[in-house]
Amino acid sequence: MVAVEGTVHRSERANRGVELIPTAVEVIVRAEVPLPLGIVDKVGAELDTRLNHRVLDLRKPAVRAVFELRSSLLAGFRDAFIRRGFLEVETPKLLRQGAEGGATLFAVDYFDGRAYLAQSPQLYKQMLIGAGLERVFEIAPAFRAEPSDTVRHITEFASLDGEMGFIDSVEDVRNALEGIVTDAFITTKKDLAGRGNALAERIPEPKTPFPRIPFAKCVEWLGRPGSEEDLGTEDEKAIGEHVDREFGVPLYFITDYPTAIKAGTFYAQRQDTNPRLTYYFDLDFRGLEIASGGAREHRLDRLKANIESAGFDPEKFSGYLEAFRFGMPPHGGWGLGVDRVVQVLAGLPNIREARLFPRDRYRLDP
Ligand code: ATP
Ligand code: MG
């Protein structure tokens, strides 16, 4: 690391059009040699090597550019929420009970007992609707013990959650989400262009409304009409390609998820006219799920019945259920994976590159 004093001259030859002619050079600290990773490496080191030496890796302008995008995107999201009257909240990450129980909970020692890391702020943001906060959002880590080694799953991710009360229907939720995403993309694009960040060009300026494609239509496209099986990675990709051909847009909703798929999601509201379907949707971006959301069940008796049929004991959810005993309006919301959005926007092959210090099954360092 050096400090250089000198005068700046215009220069045709220099990349940035200026050259520094030094008058004094001071060595502040010496780096160890050889470096484990080239700062200007044309070949591109393996991702594992890069992540093992992340501090050096982050010094590369192209890597830094991703985190400028991320910072700008988060600012854009916050701004879009606040302009729509959402209140920023923080909910506990140490829980006695997971939102949906299940295999992806991390247990931690908690004094003489056991606690769990939050997989999502789901139950708390609903409780805040019951508390009269009406529109809330949170951007915070969520933890999932995902055993599968994929390029779109990590064990600690940034979840961007919105929840809104007094909705007329799930359409209100989709309208808010598509508006917030669109606004955030547009401000991020502008901000990055202003800083000369080349990633600005990759950011689409979406047009609302995004297409809304019923789940049933998607499985028809996939050649398995009537299927109530969840969509896999390859299915999502194929749907993304179909949407690109038919609508030429990057962002779209997959709506009306079958109840069979959402059975464990006890807070998902079943449709009035057809209980085989829920008012649940995904938002996908170029063939990758980036958000899931919907209208929630706000009627206590039905919610309890859903909890039981999902195989849970309503007693264990008494704190949550209390919020429904004294007046809960119709409400809905979503959880969106910030890291996945950064991954697609920056064109990163692996979600790990969208986080400064990613965590997965094998990586807790650095
Ligand atoms: P997937 O089916 O892709 O595993 P999911 O449906 O289990 O995701 P949700 O519970 O719907 O995930 O969570 C909401 C959003 O949070 C997802 O749409 C995704 O963007 C993000 N997300 C969920 N799990 C992860 C993870 N392990 N790593 C990164 N992002 C995640
Ligand atoms: Mg989902």
For residue 21, being part of any structural domain is answered with yes
Is 144 marked active-site?
A: yes
The verdict on 187 and 228 lying in the same domain is yes
For residue 312, being part of any structural domain is answered with yes
Mean pLDDT (the chain) is 95
Number of domains in the chain: 2
- pLDDT score of 336: 98
Say if residue 2 is exposed, middle or buried (CB neighbours under 10 Å; 0-12, 13-18, 19+): exposed
Of the chain, the percentage scoring pLDDT greater than 90 comes to 90
For residue 291, being part of any structural domain is answered with yes
Q: Which ligand is nearest to the CA of 284?
A: 1
| CA 183 remoteness from chain centre | 16
Give the Å distances, CA to CA, from 137 to 71, 145, 298.
Answer: 17, 24, 19
- pLDDT score of 222: 98
* Confidence grade of residue 13 (pLDDT, cut at 50, 70, 90): confident
For residue 44, being part of any structural domain is answered with no
The verdict on 24 and 119 lying in the same domain is no
The verdict on 26 and 60 lying in the same domain is no
Angle among Cα 151, 157, 162 to the nearest 5 degrees reads: 120
Residues belonging to the chain: 366
CATH code for the domain of 334: 3.30.930.10
Amino acid present at 120: S
Q: Is 148 helix (H, G, I), strand (E, B) or coil?
A: coil
- pLDDT score of 38: 79
| Cα(37) to centroid(ligand 1), Å | 32
| d(C-alpha 294, C-alpha 272), whole Å | 14
The verdict on 165 and 277 lying in the same domain is yes
Give the nearest ligand 1 atom to 155 CA: 27
- pLDDT score of 101: 63
Please tell me what DSSP assigns to residue 280.
E
- pLDDT score of 35: 87
- pLDDT score of 299: 98
For residue 309, being part of any structural domain is answered with yes
**112 near 123, Cβ under 8 Å?**
no
Residue linked to tokens 């220069």 = 11
Give the Å distances, CA to CA, from 329 to 80, 132, 179, 324.
Answer: 24, 9, 23, 9
- pLDDT score of 50: 95
The verdict on 26 and 61 lying in the same domain is no
As a whole number of Å, the CA-based R_g of the chain is 23
Q: Which ligand is nearest to the CA of 290?
A: 1
| Cα(280) to centroid(ligand 1), Å | 14
Mean pLDDT of 173-179: 98
Residue 191, number of CB atoms within 10 A of its CB? 19
For residue 4, being part of any structural domain is answered with yes
**199 near 72, Cβ under 8 Å?**
no
Mean pLDDT of 38-47: 74
The verdict on 195 and 126 lying in the same domain is yes
The verdict on 8 and 128 lying in the same domain is no
- pLDDT score of 14: 85
Secondary structure (DSSP) of 46-78: -HHHHHHTHHHHTTSHHHHHHHHHHHHHHHHHH
Give the Å distances, CA to CA, from 323 to 127, 132, 303, 319, 334.
Answer: 5, 10, 12, 7, 19
For residue 290, being part of any structural domain is answered with yes
For residue 150, the enclosing domain spans 56-354
pLDDT in tens, 75-130: 999 999 999 999 999 999 999 876 566 678 999 999 999 999 999 999 999 999 99
Mean pLDDT of 7-22: 89
Q: Is 246 helix (H, G, I), strand (E, B) or coil?
A: helix
Is 26 marked active-site?
A: no
The verdict on 106 and 7 lying in the same domain is no
Mean pLDDT of 246-266: 96
- pLDDT score of 42: 63
* Confidence grade of residue 36 (pLDDT, cut at 50, 70, 90): confident
The verdict on 18 and 155 lying in the same domain is no
The verdict on 206 and 328 lying in the same domain is yes
Least confident of 42-51, 224-233, 302-311: 42-51
Least confident of 94-98, 174-178, 303-307: 94-98
- pLDDT score of 147: 82
pLDDT in tens, 92-103: 999 987 656 667
For residue 46, being part of any structural domain is answered with no
The verdict on 226 and 347 lying in the same domain is yes
Give the nearest ligand 1 atom to 341 CA: 20
The verdict on 188 and 238 lying in the same domain is yes
